[in-house]
Amino acid sequence: MDFSWTDEQEIWRKTARDFAQKKIKPKVREIDTNKKIPEEIIKDMGKLGLLAPTASTEYGGAGVDWTMAAIAAEELGRADISLAIPVLYLVEAAWGFIFSQYGTEEAKKKYLPKITSGDAFCGIAVTEPEGGSDIVGAAKTKAEKKGKNWLLNGEKIFISGITESSKWGGIHLTLARTNPSKAHKGFSFFALPLKDNPNVKTTLFEDMGRMGISTGGFTMENVEIPENHLIGKFNRGFYYAMEGFSAARVLIGATCVGASEAAMELGIEHIKTRKAFGRPLGSFEGIQFPLAEHHCNIDAVKLQTYRAAWTMDKMYKENKATHHDVAIAAAIAKLRAPIYAFGVMNEVADWLGATGYTKEYPIEMGIRGVRSYSIGAEGTMNIMKIIIGRELLGKEFLPYK
């Protein structure tokens, strides 16, 4: 066992950190207020290989593995504690990878180079109005063949990147029922462009946090897309979606680790200098004990996150792990990381006293942003527990068929 980074990983981390600390960190409040990530940041991320970095180099990706993808996610979370840029990064890294693995040549050539350069967006559209956790039971969106095209009808809701996709172009990987008589084996996955598509009507939600990236929904009324926009095999869409969610969950772990580290650094600086009763706050046991607890939590979830990334690399690079190994490792990281990140941010807000309740510090942006992950983005906390339970007990103990 070796916990050190390779030279390549160190260089990648340094590149991501230098960029994120110099170019992103000073702009986070502006991003949160203006509800928009500046175009030059997106373009610079593209130049550095930080957009859909896991996509194949053939289509403009950096072709990095999951450990490298997690390293960059951690650095982006450390710089943008609001988590807007980390969300954009991890959504494109996870779903750009799935598209790169299973998309058709024609569709990949059309969209991926633009996604990796920052000229188009790549998102995921699974959740529907009747429920996200039980998508198999709730999904109403249907796709059927019409001549050489696919015809889509239905509605998706709580979808990240609606404004980005509508303005920049790109695709949302969209899950639709293609065999209503089957459950998990009755879904297919499609690359759906939202921009300039008159039969797609979008809406936007006013979120509580991660304001730099939009969330909304869209309806599809007889939306026609070319045959080559089917991703992977017909009726295998549910499984590609689960594969992408595991990848996204690992990167959520890494962004939360980065944001937690940033919050902790801010808190430590404050408790070393701020005095009460004639002593620095940090000299009180009532401050040091939670400090130690939060440090242990971050350390634990960092190990869990990088073990999940390592398991992904074992599966994709060496074929020495299965999706079951990945699913449980990713669910553990996703279950713990947002909760621990929220815990440390909340604690640091206390240490800051009244200024912790102001916008002088970025902590309040972090608290608002990280709740998106514990409420539900990429699966709720209870769903993570169900996945872990299923892996420990077997599928016969699932609460549904």
Ligand X SMILES: Cc1cc2nc3c(=O)[nH]c(=O)nc-3n(C[C@H](O)[C@H](O)[C@H](O)COP(=O)(O)OP(=O)(O)OC[C@H]3O[C@@H](n4cnc5c(N)ncnc54)[C@H](O)[C@@H]3O)c2cc1C
Q: Rule CB under 6 A: which residues touch ligand X?
A: 123-127, 131-133, 158-160, 207, 215, 372, 375-377, 379-380, 382-383, 399
CB closer to ligand X, 129 vs 290: 129
Beta strand 170-177 with 121-125 is parallel
Do 271 and 351 contact (CB within 8 A), yes or no? yes
Enumerate residues 6+ apart whose C-beta is below 8 A from 74: 254, 255, 257, 258, 261
CB closer to ligand X, 215 vs 255: 215
- The label of the residue with tokens 């600086």 reads 269
Smallest gap, in angstroms, from Cβ of residue 261 to ligand X? 22
Smallest gap, in angstroms, from Cβ of residue 93 to ligand X? 13
CB closer to ligand X, 217 vs 362: 217
What is the number of residues in the chain? Answer: 401
Do 199 and 222 contact (CB within 8 A), yes or no? yes
> Around Cβ 79, how many Cβ atoms within 10 Å?
24
Structure tokens belonging to residue 116: 């990796």
Which one, of 22, 62, 66, 63, lies nearest residue 46 by Cα? 62
Smallest gap, in angstroms, from Cβ of residue 244 to ligand X? 10
CB closer to ligand X, 155 vs 313: 155
Which amino acid belongs to residue 120? Answer: A
CB closer to ligand X, 208 vs 303: 208
- Give the whole-angstrom CA distance, residue 65 versus residue 254: 14
Smallest gap, in angstroms, from Cβ of residue 255 to ligand X? 13
Smallest gap, in angstroms, from Cβ of residue 385 to ligand X? 8
CB closer to ligand X, 96 vs 282: 96
**Residue whose C-beta lies closest to ligand X:** 132
Smallest gap, in angstroms, from Cβ of residue 87 to ligand X? 8
